[in-house]
């Protein structure tokens, strides 16, 4: 068996990004206390990138011990809006509140990546600017929240599904908004001395 990509996350979006890019990851969600990490770092005055990187590092390092011969990817995304970091809304009511606040505004979706290989590790935060629609109606906000789609998503939205209706513009890497920056993962693999195609599952038979 060749080297595998292990995704230390249960995110369907991150899994989908890798699968669309030719990689079938092994899913091993990390059970970390995200709220405690966020609270500790926020109290200490950490900048947004350091917060998401700490979350990604906690996930990757927890899982990597079980996969010493593979590449483990830890990632975490948060939305930076009006000077505050926002994670997942979790509830329908909170998703509605978030959308009322972010409607018509510009924010930054920040994803921290911590990637561990047998020989080394690599970490980087990626930022994409997101412009939320100003004309989204209250009824559409309520209907979107009621679908449940935004509840497990940083910033209470998706780009690749129903939430795409309400995003006017992005500036930067679209895969980062979905939850995993392919450019960051590519740079990590090159840093480790691998080629991206080494991990593809669509290579032609020899």
Sequence-ordered alpha helix ranges (H) in the chain? 12-20, 34-43, 48-64, 92-102, 138-146, 174-178, 182-192
Catalytic residue among 35, 70, 76, 195: 76
Is there a catalytic annotation at residue 168?
no
Under DSSP, the state recorded for 133 is -
**Degrees (nearest 5) of the Cα angle 160, 109, 122?**
100
Pairing of strands 26-27, 5-7: parallel
Q: Which of 180, 154, 157, 162 is nearest to 38 (CA)?
A: 154
C-alpha angle with apex 109: 48 to 173, nearest 5 degrees? Answer: 125
Catalytic residues: 76
């Amino acid at each position: 068996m060749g080297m595998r990509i292990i995704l230390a996350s249960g995110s369907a979006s991150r899994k989908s990004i890798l699968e669309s890019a030719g990689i079938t990851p092994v899913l091993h969600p990390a059970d970390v206390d995200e709220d405690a990490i966020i609270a500790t770092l926020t109290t200490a005055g950490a900048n947004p990138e350091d917060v998401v990187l700490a979350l990604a590092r906690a996930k990757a390092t927890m899982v990597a011990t079980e996969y010493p011969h593979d590449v483990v990817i830890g990632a975490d995304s948060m939305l930076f809006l009006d000077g505050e970091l926002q994670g997942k809304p979790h509830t329908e009511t909170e998703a509605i509140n978030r959308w009322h606040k972010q409607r018509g505004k510009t924010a930054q979706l920040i994803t921290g990546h911590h990637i561990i290989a047998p020989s080394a590790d690599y970490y980087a935060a990626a930022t994409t600017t997101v412009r939320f629609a100003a004309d989204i109606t209250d009824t559409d906000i309520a209907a979107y929240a009621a679908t449940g789609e935004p509840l497990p998503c940083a910033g209470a939205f998706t780009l690749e599904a129903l939430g795409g209706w309400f995003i006017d513009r992005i500036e930067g890497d679209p895969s980062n908004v979905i939850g995993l920056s392919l450019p960051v993962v590519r740079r990590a693999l090159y840093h480790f001395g691998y080629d991206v195609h080494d991990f593809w599952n669509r290579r032609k038979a020899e």
